[in-house]
Amino acid sequence: MSKRMMIVMTMLIGLLAAYINSEVISAESWQQVLSKSENLEGYYYKTPYKFSERNMGVIEVWHQGYASRLEMTNSLTGETMILLTRQTDGTFYQIDPEANEAIAYTYTDIELLPQDLDESRYAVAGSRFDQNFIDRVSSVEEVDYRNQPVYLLENKSTHGGQEEIYRVWMSKEFGLPLKEEMQMADGRIHRRIYTDMKEGPFPQELFVLPEGLNIIREMRFN
Amino acid sequence: MNKRGWKYQKAVFLILLLLIIIAVFIFYESEKTPMDEDVEDLITEPIGEEPTEPEFVEPEPYVSLLDGLDKESPFSSGESIGRLKIPVINLDMTVIENASASNLNRTLARMISSDLPDGKGNFVISGHRMYQYNSHFNRLDEVEIGDEIVFEDESYRYYYEVESITFVEPSEIWIMLGNNRESMLTLFTCTPIARATHRLVVFSSLKEMISLES
């Protein structure tokens, strides 16, 4: 083998080794992927909703640290409703941005976050894909969904001879669901899909109350 | 070229020129649209009455989606507010005010963050899935789109029709957000039955409201 040939071969082997190494490093277990979203600098997604034939559209969600913003836009009327959560004081706000009006709902028995969180910090519920969820996963598959590598996890629940199955197509990139299915005991399947996923950070203004917001009602409940 | 040939060529040229002029004229006439004629008329005819300015119509004031949803509940926690009936799953239960943990152990309950069953907004009832067959919302998963749901209080009987069924995670409180553009009844319970990682949600729209007062 000539010297030149040797150099070419060495380079090719080196490239192959680097590729294999990167694949091994990026091959996270499904348990690691489930906790991935907690380390993201915020995330965003869209999901369709349908209350009725006259009220259906798109929900957009932004999560960032302790902040959460949800916008529901009716595809038929174009009207938007915003929901800002702020669990540091146990309150969330339902806002009509067009009228700049809101109803404030306050949970009185919510476990408040540490008092060192300042007023601009908002809180969201913890990950639902926790150890409790992991312990109940009954099947795991690696598949592609919409050209993205995902873990398809299945969680079966049986009671009194009836079986209900929850399936989630978990994005390996974000550690968030791209699709979920709930199969009822009679075989009917309810589906939800999540699209346009993006990682933050997002502008802080998204998570604060609009200026001059008129709170028309304050409700306290437990 | 001889003289005769030159004359012949000249004649052909003149005929061709004439044909081109005729063709251009015909094309121009055919391309004239009624609009052109109208424009010509407008130019040539004397101007008649001055066109009147359109009347100013004030735009409708925007009505907030939250308008009218700020009513205080007349009920106290645990007080009966009516009965819920879902014929298809043989459900007929009392609904009480405030879906607190202790109230939900008794029967179905209204989420006080939701609207009152008065024909506006989103009236939300929550119930335990229960392991015992037909108890509380144990069979809510059997409800299908198009099924009838009836809520009855002292004054009215409200007929709803199931329009949509979905599931959400427990923190998704948007399911109980209504707006005054419509009248809905939302029912939700835990799912899957023995795991309760999510909430099964049944959305229905008001179809009819009958007064029970004679």
The answer to the question of residue B65 being in a domain is: no
Are B27 and B88 part of one and the same domain? Answer: no
- The answer to the question of residue B61 being in a domain is no
Least confident stretch, A22-36, A142-156, B175-189: A22-36
- How much of chain A exceeds pLDDT 90, in percent? 50
- Assigned domain for B37 exists: yes
Per-residue tokens: A62: 């932004």
Q: Three-state DSSP class for B172?
A: coil
Neighbours of A46 (CB within 10 A): 16
- Domain tally for chain B? 2
CATH of the domain at B128: 2.40.260.10
Rounded percentage of chain A residues whose pLDDT exceeds 70: 82
Instruction: Check A99 against B67: CB less than 8 A apart.
Output: yes
Nearest Cβ partner for B193 among A94, A124, A162: A162
Q: What is the DSSP letter of B139?
A: T
Instruction: Give me the pLDDT at residue A25, please.
Output: 42
Is the model's pLDDT at A110 over the cut of 50?
Answer: no
Residues B118 and B203 in one domain: yes
> pTM score, two decimals?
0.77
Distance (Å, rounded) from C-alpha A14 to C-alpha A5? 14
A110 touches A128 (CB < 8 A): no
Q: Are residues B31 and B123 in the same domain?
A: no
pLDDT tens, position by position, B16-75: 888 888 888 777 665 554 444 444 444 444 455 565 676 777 778 888 998 877 678 899
Tens of pLDDT, residues B73-105: 899 999 999 999 999 999 999 999 988 888 999
How many angstroms away from the CA of B94 is the closest CA of chain A? Answer: 21
For residues B123 and B195, membership in a common domain is answered with: yes
Residue B74 lies in a domain: no
Yes or no, beta carbons of B64 and A96 under 8 Å apart: yes
Contacts of B186 (CB under 8 A, 6+ apart): A51, B114, B122, B123, B124, B125, B175, B176, B201, B202, B203, B204
Residues of B in contact with A49 (CB under 8 A): 166, 174
* B57 falls within a domain: no
Mean pLDDT of chain B: 84
The DSSP letter of residue B78 is T
pLDDT at residue B7, as a whole number: 82
Q: Would you place residue A88 in the very low, low, confident or very high pLDDT band (cuts 50, 70, 90)?
A: low
Residue B54 inside a domain? The answer is: no
pLDDT for residue A108: 62
- Say if CB B98 and CB B78 are below 8 A apart: yes
Q: Is there a single domain that holds both residue B34 and residue B85? A: no
What per-residue confidence (pLDDT) applies to A24?
A: 43
Judged by CB atoms closer than 8 Å, whether chains meet at A159 and B131 is answered as yes
The better pLDDT of the pair B116, B59 is held by: B116
Tell me, yes or no, whether B204 lies in a domain. yes
| Structure-block tokens of residue A189 | 């399947």
- Residue B153: domain span: 80-211
Let me know whether B10 and B97 are in one domain: no
> Which residue in the set A52, A188, A217 is minimally distant from B205, CB to CB?
A52
Q: What is the pLDDT of residue B50?
A: 62
Q: Render B34-66 in DSSP notation, one character per residue.
A: HHHHHHHHHHHSPP-SPPPPPPP-PPPPPPPTT
* pLDDT tens digits along A130-139: 787 888 899 9
The ipTM of this complex is 0.80
Is there a domain that residue B35 lies in?
Answer: yes
Nearest beta carbon to residue A159 from set B67, B112, B193: B193
Q: What number is the average pLDDT over the span B104-113?
A: 91
